[in-house]
């Protein structure tokens, strides 16, 4: 399982309002974030990962509306799940000021990120509920039934008009 199977690094950075220089792709690729996402997905339902793996092999055009809605909800939830975990260290990796001449760097205290952290946590809670609802809808969809066309059928002969038999 990789993080990019569920969301993109750009989406995670956008949810936090940071740039690629502040959080590198290599940092987001750490097993810490993948494992945390796995735990969050399994806490929604044990079948979340199974359904996603099943739908990964289905062409988007042949997915039902409920299955497509589940995939969208999963992607959004995954983005905010990782972003929520990153809010713990948000003041540490997001600098307030970087100067080139004297190579100094100063960071914010917790207060400037209070609104961002609250927004990410609120979105996480909302998207968790949306994912659970979308999962229930996608699981209720049965596989399409295949109806076979009869190429041959039995018919009873009509009586012969000449002989009457």
Tell me the pLDDT tens digit for each residue of 94-107.
Answer: 555 555 666 555 55
Q: For position 105, what pLDDT does the model report?
A: 54
Using the 8-state DSSP alphabet, how is residue 159 labeled? P
- For the chain, what's the residue count? 165
**Count of domains forming the chain:** 1
132-159 burial, b at 16+ Cβ within 10 Å, e below that, comes to: eebbebbbeeeeeeeeeeeeeeeeeeee
Residue 162 falls within a domain, yes or no?
no
Q: For position 8, what pLDDT does the model report?
A: 92
Using the 8-state DSSP alphabet, how is residue 142 labeled? P
Q: For position 142, what pLDDT does the model report?
A: 46
84-114 burial, b at 16+ Cβ within 10 Å, e below that, comes to: bbbbeebbeebeeeeeeeeeeeeeeeeeebe
Q: What is the domain extent for residue 48?
A: 3-140
Residue 154 falls within a domain, yes or no?
no
Which tens digit of pLDDT belongs to each residue from 30-42? 899 999 999 999 9
Q: For position 40, what pLDDT does the model report?
A: 92
Residue 85 falls within a domain, yes or no?
yes
Residue 156 falls within a domain, yes or no?
no
The alpha-helical segments, DSSP class H, found in 21-141 are 25-28, 31-44, 48-56, 65-86, 90-93, 114-140
Which tens digit of pLDDT belongs to each residue from 76-94? 999 999 999 988 887 666 5
């Amino acid at each position: 399982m990789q993080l990019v199977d569920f969301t993109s690094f750009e989406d995670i950075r956008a949810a936090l309002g940071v740039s690629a220089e502040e959080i590198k792709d290599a940092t987001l690729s750490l097993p810490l974030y993948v494992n945390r996402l796995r735990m969050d997905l399994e806490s929604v339902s044990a079948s979340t990962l199974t359904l996603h793996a099943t739908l990964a092999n289905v062409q988007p055009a042949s997915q039902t509306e409920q299955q497509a809605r589940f995939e969208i909800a999963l992607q959004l939830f995954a983005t905010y799940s990782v972003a929520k975990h990153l809010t713990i260290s948000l003041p540490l990796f997001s600098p307030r000021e970087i100067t080139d001449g004297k190579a100094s760097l100063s960071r914010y205290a917790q207060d400037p990120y209070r609104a961002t952290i609250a927004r990410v946590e609120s979105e996480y809670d909302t998207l968790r509920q949306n994912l659970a609802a979308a999962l229930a809808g996608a699981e209720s969809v049965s596989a399409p039934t295949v109806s076979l066309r009869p190429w041959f059928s039995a018919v009873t002969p009509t009586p012969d008009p000449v002989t009457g038999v």
